[in-house]
């Protein structure tokens, strides 16, 4: 369908260069932002209005976490800026245009809220503050991007680092790491900082000075738009320049062992090595969903093939017997040819995270390094969030980033068999309290 243009309507305001890039994007999924003050909300509203005026009858959906936020940040400004051009029906939660186009207003404050959108169809979907939504919620909205009319089908997102959706937004739009059913050409990221918004710089210089005076972690995320550090991050110690190394940097004289976290939703396996100084290296990884216990065992054996692997440490629940077969997951996996001897992990969460944090500590040089080929662990480890009720523990949400770090926690706990939660380990702790498995 060609855009309708019976008359010209001038929309007030001059877009910045970054906002012009956002307006010009024709990608199926476009994310805009990264830092605060980049003019994201202004640009998102004008993009929707422009599409509604350009294509008669187009169906748009504007989503934010709560309806109150949506009214405050978008409905009121739209009614003020475009008075007479559009009408608002509170009962229907819709903004209507004279040419038949409409912007439906939605919210998604809980996992159940997203269910109301299943089966619905929209030509354009705009999600404001996308990092406040989980990846599962985002997937439901992606399924709504369809229709039979000859309209563009696009999704526009605004985002800042942090929040429950940080990991999937960073994966898709910043790191550009894609799964089999995801087309890289569909995704476009337009970064914007407060310095890219001359209107705000001139109108409210105190806002910029406020961002510049924030504590370092918040300043780097909110002012500079850094996605590898944000408020609520469980492992702020993790720094790729310190903890990620090339395969050539891994010593040849190391003793190997494996660690795994199994669930049907995801198997995460790490092959690790320890040198004579007690330093750990993550050599390789295998992460895949939908595997049966036997298939998981075969995957572990495959990852270890050709190596001398002393043991594989795994979640203790694998030793529980299944009611359907009477056999435990341990029995099924251990029976696979090539599977290293399995051991039940010490599953204490807070103790395990404390030890892992000590391995990541830059003091004196970190004693954990991850091979650059372990993309999933490198992606997930910095994306873990603090549990809101127990800050010393990592949050279980977003669940998609927990599997590889859990396997790493099992690995480091296998090196500290006598560790007690009240103790604070130091770099020599491993020699004072020997691990369950003596590797040397």
CA atoms lying within 13 Å on the CB side of residue 300? 36
Sheet-wide strand order for 266-274: 244-245, 368-371, 280-288, 266-274, 255-263, 309-314, 342-344
Task: Answer yes or no: is pLDDT of 68 > 80.
Answer: yes
Name residues whose C-beta falls within 8 Å of residue 128's C-beta, 6 or more positions apart in sequence.
40, 41, 44, 62, 63, 64, 70, 73, 74, 157, 158
Task: Answer yes or no: is pLDDT of 321 > 80.
Answer: yes
Q: Are 230 and 166 in contact (CB under 8 A)?
A: yes
Higher pLDDT, 81 or 269: 269
**pLDDT of the residue at 118:** 86
What's the pLDDT band for 437 if we cut at 50, 70, 90?
very low
**For the segment 138-196, what is each residue's pLDDT rounded down to a tens digit?**
999 999 999 888 899 999 999 988 878 888 899 999 989 898 889 999 999 999 877 77
Mean pLDDT value across residues 326-337: 93
Sheet-wide strand order for 124-127: 87-89, 94-96, 102-107, 59-64, 124-127, 154-159, 29-34, 187-192
Torsion region of 364: left, alpha or beta (phi above 0 gives left; psi -120 to 50 gives alpha): left
CA dist., res. 88 & res. 295, Å (int): 55
**For the segment 375-385, what is each residue's pLDDT rounded down to a tens digit?**
999 988 988 88
Q: Are 282 and 371 in contact (CB under 8 A)?
A: yes
Residue ranges per domain, the chain? Answer: 17-223, 240-432
**pLDDT of the residue at 370:** 96
CA dist., res. 374 & res. 191, Å (int): 26
State yes or no: cis peptide before 239, omega within 30 of 0. no
Q: Is 210 helix (H, G, I), strand (E, B) or coil?
A: helix
**For the segment 193-231, what is each residue's pLDDT rounded down to a tens digit?**
777 777 766 777 777 777 777 666 667 776 777 787 776
Mean pLDDT value across residues 405-424: 70
**pLDDT of the residue at 138:** 92
What's the pLDDT band for 119 if we cut at 50, 70, 90?
confident
Mean pLDDT value across residues 67-73: 86
CATH no., domain 240-432 = 3.30.420.280
CA dist., res. 369 & res. 386, Å (int): 22
**For the segment 370-407, what is each residue's pLDDT rounded down to a tens digit?**
999 999 999 889 888 888 788 889 998 888 889 999 99
Q: What are phi and psi of 432, to 5 degrees?
A: -75, -35
CA dist., res. 40 & res. 180, Å (int): 30
**pLDDT of the residue at 71:** 87
- Choose the most confident range, by mean pLDDT, from 15-29, 80-94, 100-114: 15-29
What's the pLDDT band for 109 if we cut at 50, 70, 90?
confident
Q: Do domains 17-223 and 240-432 have the same CATH topology?
A: no
**pLDDT of the residue at 379:** 87
Task: Answer yes or no: is pLDDT of 133 > 70.
Answer: yes
CATH no., domain 17-223 = 3.40.50.300
Higher pLDDT, 415 or 334: 334
Minimum mean pLDDT among 17-26, 27-36, 230-239: which range? 230-239
Q: Are 413 and 272 in contact (CB under 8 A)?
A: no
CA dist., res. 431 & res. 278, Å (int): 8
Torsion region of 391: left, alpha or beta (phi above 0 gives left; psi -120 to 50 gives alpha): alpha
Q: What are phi and psi of 209, to 5 degrees?
A: -65, -35
pTM of the model: 0.65
How far is Cα of residue 402 from the mean position of the Cα atoms in its chain?
A: 10
* Average pLDDT over the chain, rounded to an integer: 85
CA dist., res. 31 & res. 153, Å (int): 15
Mean pLDDT value across residues 62-82: 88
């Amino acid at each position: 369908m060609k855009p309708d243009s019976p008359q010209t309507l001038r929309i007030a305001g001059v877009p910045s260069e970054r906002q012009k890039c956002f307006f010009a994007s024709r990608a199926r999924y476009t994310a805009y932002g990264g830092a605060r003050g980049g003019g994201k909300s202004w640009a998102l509203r004008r993009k929707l209005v422009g599409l509604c005026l350009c294509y008669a009858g187009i169906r748009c959906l504007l989503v934010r976490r709560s309806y109150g936020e949506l009214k405050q940040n978008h409905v009121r400004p739209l009614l003020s800026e475009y008075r007479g051009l559009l009408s608002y029906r509170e009962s229907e939660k819709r903004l209507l245009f004279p040419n038949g186009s409409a912007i439906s207003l939605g919210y998604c404050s809980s996992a159940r809220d997203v269910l109301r959108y299943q089966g619905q169809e929209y030509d354009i979907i705009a999600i404001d503050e996308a990092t406040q939504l989980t990846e599962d919620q985002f997937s439901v909205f992606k399924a709504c991007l369809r229709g039979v009319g000859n309209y563009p089908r696009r999704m526009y997102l605004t985002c800042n680092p942090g929040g429950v959706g940080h990991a999937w937004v960073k994966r898709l739009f910043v790191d550009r790491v894609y799964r089999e059913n995801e087309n890289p050409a569909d995704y476009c990221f337009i970064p914007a900082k407060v310095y890219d918004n001359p209107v705000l710089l001139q109108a409210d210089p105190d806002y910029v000075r406020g961002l510049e005076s924030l504590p370092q972690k918040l300043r780097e995320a909110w002012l500079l738009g850094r996605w590898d550090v944000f408020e609520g991050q469980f492992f702020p110690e993790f720094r790729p320049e310190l903890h990620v190394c090339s395969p050539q940097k891994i010593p040849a004289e190391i003793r190997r062992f494996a660690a795994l976290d199994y669930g049907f939703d995801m198997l995460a396996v790490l092959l690790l090595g320890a040198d004579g100084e007690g330093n750990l290296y993550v050599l390789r990884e295998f992460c895949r969903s939908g595997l049966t216990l036997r298939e998981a065992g075969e995957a572990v054996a495959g990852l270890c093939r050709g190596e001398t692997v002393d043991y594989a440490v795994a979640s203790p629940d694998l030793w529980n017997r299944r009611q359907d077969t009477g056999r435990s997951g341990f029995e099924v996996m251990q029976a696979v040819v090539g599977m290293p001897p399995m051991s039940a992990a010490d599953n204490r969460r807070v103790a395990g995270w404390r030890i892992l944090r000590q391995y990541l500590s830059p003091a004196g040089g970190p004693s954990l390094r991850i091979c650059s080929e372990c993309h999933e662990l490198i992606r997930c480890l910095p994306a873990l969030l603090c549990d809101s009720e127990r800050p010393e523990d990592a949050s279980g949400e977003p669940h998609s980033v927990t599997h590889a770090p859990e396997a790493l926690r099992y690995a480091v706990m296998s090196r500290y068999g006598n560790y007690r939660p009240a103790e604070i380990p130091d770099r020599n702790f491993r020699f004072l309290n020997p691990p369950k498995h003596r590797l040397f």
